[in-house]
Homo-oligomer: A and B are copies of this chain.
Amino acid sequence: MAETDDAVVDAQDDLAAAVLRPLRAHHAFESCVEMLATSIRLGIYPDGSTLPPERELAERMGVSRSTLREAIGALRDAGLLTTRRGRGGGSVVEFHPVEPGASTTLERPREELLDALEFRRIVEPGAAHAAATRTLSASQIELLQASLERVSSAAGKAVHRQADAQFHLAIASLSESPLLIDAVTNVQVRLHEMLGAIPVLDRNIDHSRQQHAAIVEAILAGDATKARRVMESHCDDTAALLRGLM
């Protein structure tokens, strides 16, 4: 009995470890760079577009303008942006997607990536379910269809990856739940990194297209169960692909 008691105590320590999670990832500056670079890589600010003004960005990211400016400077040095002064100026995205790819190595530990896949299998189907449950506004329906259209007609793998991430983010945004949107964003960022590091076949993309269409259909039809089921399959397929190739 002592053994099992000890085991329970050990597991309870794990509980403590869970609640006492580390707060504050790294330096604000680094997180800032990462966040902006991610936004650009995900195509949220496409090539040629202008970032919001510094003061606004700083406020949205909860960071002082000085810190934000350092981050922007780093991105400028990295060749991701150019900056123009004066009215109508700003930081303009200069993004050249690396189509050949596959030369980048993963920086996060492998377990963290596997964890993201597991978590994704819960939150994204959940998001699809939630989206199908609520009644959507006209603009939300419009966004959903536009996202589907974009990911369907995307030419080139890098562009497709961007459109795919935005498609999934769009579904999450339909829920209007900040926590859920945040979770999906996190997961998509990690996923985007992983997908950039492996070769993706055309037939995988075709398969995704069909699943995407089915998900949108189910959401618009209000069939929450089906939306979740299809999204689960979709996540499982991507996860299987990634686990196999990493």
A residues apposed to B, CB below 8 Å: 4, 7-8, 10-12, 14-25, 28, 31-32, 35-36, 38-39, 42, 44-45, 52, 57, 60-63, 112, 115-116, 118-119, 121-123, 126-127, 129-130, 138-140, 142-143, 146, 166, 169-170, 172-173, 175, 177-183, 185-187
Contacts and interface: CB of A to CB of B under 8 A. Distances in A.
A17 B119 CA distance: 22
Given A16-B45, A23-B62, A31-B23, A118 B185 contact: no
A11 B142 contact: yes
Contacts of A44: 12, 15-16, 19
Nearest to A23: B31
Contacts of A11: 139-140, 142-143, 170, 173
Nearest to A62: B22
Contacts of A169: 15, 18-19
A24 B63 contact: yes
A31 B24 CA distance: 10
A26 B17 CA distance: 21
A22 B139 contact: no
A107 B155 CA distance: 49
A106 to B, nearest CB: 17
Nearest to A52: B16
Contacts of A10: 139
Q: Which of A112, A139, A146 has the most CB of B within 10 A?
A: A139
12 contacts: A4-B138, A11-B142, A12-B143, A19-B185, A20-B35, A20-B39, A23-B28, A24-B24, A24-B31, A115-B179, A122-B130, A183-B183
